[in-house]
Amino acid sequence: MNIHFDFEKSSLFFNQPVSIISCSSFQDVPLAFEKIEESLSRGLFVAGFFSYEFGYAFEEAFSSYSLNGFPLIFMGCYEKPQPYKNQFTVDGHDRKVKNLRFNISREKYFEHIDVIRSYLQAGDVYQITYCLKILFDFHGNAYDLYKTLFAVQPVPYAAFVETDQYDMASLSPELFLYKKGNYIISKPMKGTWQRRKSWFADKLAEYRFRHDEKNRAENIMITDLLRNDLGRIGNNIRVEKLCEVTPYKTLFQMTSTVAADIAPDVSLYNLFKSLFPSGSVTGAPKIRAMEIIHELEREPRNIYTGAIGYIKPNKDFYINIPIRTALINKENAKGEMGIGGGIVWDSTAEGEWTEGILKARFFTDNIHL
* Per annotation, catalytic residue among 35, 53, 162, 174: 174
Amino acid at 318: Y
At 115, which helix (H) or strand (E)? helix 106-122
Q: 20 with 77: CB under 8 angstroms?
A: yes
* Per annotation, catalytic residue among 190, 286, 315, 359: 190
- Give me the DSSP letters along 170-192: EEE--EEEEEETTEEEE--EEEE
- Give me the DSSP letters along 20-53: EEEE-SGGGHHHHHHHHHHHHHTT-EEEEEE-GG
Number of H helices, E strands in the chain: 8, 20
Return d(Cα 240, Cα 238) in angstroms, integer. Answer: 6
Q: Is 190 a catalytic residue?
A: yes
Return d(Cα 5, Cα 311) in angstroms, integer. Answer: 12
Half-sphere exposure of 277 (CA within 13 A, CB side): 32
Output the 3-class SS for 239-288: EEEEEEEEECCCEEEEEEEEEEECCCCCCHHHHHHHHCCCHHHCEECHHH
Half-sphere exposure of 248 (CA within 13 A, CB side): 28
User: Residue 122, Cβ neighbours under 10 Å: how many?
Assistant: 8
Return d(Cα 81, Cα 14) in angstroms, integer. Answer: 5
Return d(Cα 309, Cα 298) in angstroms, integer. Answer: 27
Bond preceding residue 285 cis, omega within 30 of 0: yes
- Residues taking part in catalysis: 174, 190
